[in-house]
Amino acid sequence: MHFHESLEAAARRNQSWLCVGLDPEPARMPDHLSADAEGIYAFCAAIMDATADLVCAFKPNVAFFEAHGAAGWSALERLIRRCPGPPIILDAKRGDISSTAEAYARSVFTTLGADAVTLNPYLGSDALEPFLRHADRGCFILCKTSNPGSHDLQETRLADGRPLYLAVAEMARDRWNTHGNVGLVVGATHPAALADIRRACPDMLILAPGIGAQGGDLEASVRAAAAGGDPRLIVTVSRAVLYAERGMNFAAAARTAARQLRDAINAAL
């Protein structure tokens, strides 16, 4: 099944445009779980099982697994293969050249079996092409990221007055989306940029991190980026769900937080 089809099926089934990010920090996990690869696997598996009927996707961040070496990589692979339904967007931010990009694409889509991936466009089209040619997988291009330092480069004004992030969005729309599998990463911490990008790219999926711990306003973000009856907007939240409670009932608390967020997104829509 094409990534967009599996995403939309999960969104309809669960009445949800919420994506839960899986960023397991051992120091913040429940005390009864070990701080090693098995601990983060058990933690993330419990979160997935508790929230699978409330989300449209899960988004594991590779860094938190790679930090545990080979065992962490194995834990990530196992999590992806046991995912209870919603598609997996791998937050890897890959972007390299030639045979390196080819190897990264094989790693993400063939070895790990992820349904979609985040990509850094800074190296240009040839760095993206090995991923883009997987027409059945999603490719989310970093456009206007949620971190405070995003303005250092992404808001640079070009000769025609456009900010760089808008040029990236238009390039993704006009040059990179030949298979219809490209989306954009736009931080919920920048509602004005969200609105600019949605006007330029009315039909493209937007993955919007930054709600919750990073201070993004959910209602303002949805209002800025939703595209009519089909919102084309994935709101991704990590810490507010993962660490809703630190005790034995952490998974139940995560479920409650995810349900509240899903309902808030739907209310804003």
State pLDDT tens for residues 5-41: 999 999 999 999 999 999 999 999 999 999 999 999 9
164's enclosing H/E stretch is: helix 164-171
pLDDT in tens, 189-209: 888 899 999 999 999 999 999
Q: Is CATH 3.20.20.70 the classification given to domain 3-268?
A: yes
Tokens at residue 15, please? 């009445």
Contact 18, 265 (CB under 8 A): yes
Residue type, 59: K
pTM: 0.95
Greatest extent of the chain over all pairs of C-alpha atoms, in Å: 56
User: Quick check: helix, strand or coil at residue 210?
Assistant: coil
Under DSSP, is residue 102 helix (H, G, I), strand (E, B) or coil? Answer: helix
d(CA 231, CA 41): 32
Provide the pLDDT confidence category of residue 112 given band limits of 50, 70 and 90: very high
User: In a 3-state reduction of DSSP, which class is residue 58?
Assistant: strand
Handedness of CA 186, 260, 117, 44 (dihedral sign): positive
Residues identified as active-site: 93
Q: How confident is the model at residue 230 (pLDDT cuts 50, 70, 90)?
A: confident
228 — pLDDT class (breaks 50, 70, 90):
low
